[in-house]
Amino acid sequence: MKGTYLGEFEELVLLAVGILFDDAYGLAIVDELERKTERPIMMSAVHKVLVRLEDKGYLKSRMGGATQVRGGRDKRLYTLTAAGKKVLSQSRELRNSMWREVPKIVWEAGAL
């Protein structure tokens, strides 16, 4: 398995795959990310991250059936692996832990 560091965009892609569950393929992932982040997402960026996450062992892929809408082409479907679920859980725990440590005074008016 390649390095275990998880970047922000990698985390977002893993979360989108989890949200989409059985229908996580390139364009659906892009659409989900654009909806959630409210910013444009490049298909090429998502594709590179999907390959990297699969290399790290966080995702696995399989070919789905061809459809008329896709001109008879198969689509590659992605699912989270046990390692992918674990790294997402660890990432969430780290973020939550750090958020809990930020003193409330930081968020009070005039403290900035």
Number of domains in the chain: 1
pLDDT confidence bin for 1, thresholds 50/70/90: very low
Residue 103 has pLDDT above 50, yes or no: yes
Q: State residue 67's pLDDT score.
A: 64
Q: State residue 64's pLDDT score.
A: 83
Buried b (16+ CB within 10 A) or exposed e, 39-62: eebeeeebeebbebbbebebbebe
**How many C-beta neighbours within 10 Å does residue 17 have?**
26
The CA angle 81-88-56, to the nearest 5 degrees, is 50
Average pLDDT of the chain? 89
Q: Structural domain of residue 66, as residue ranges?
A: 8-106
Q: Which residues share a beta bridge with 62?
A: 77
In a domain, 61, yes or no: yes
**How does pLDDT run across 29-65, given as a tens digit for each residue?**
999 999 999 999 999 999 999 999 999 999 999 998 7
**How does pLDDT run across 4-18, given as a tens digit for each residue?**
678 999 999 999 999
Structural contact between residues 49 and 88, judged by C-beta atoms closer than 8 angstroms: no
Per the rule left: phi > 0, alpha: psi between -120 and 50, beta: everything else, 88 is: alpha
Give the CATH number of the domain where residue 82 resides: 1.10.10.10
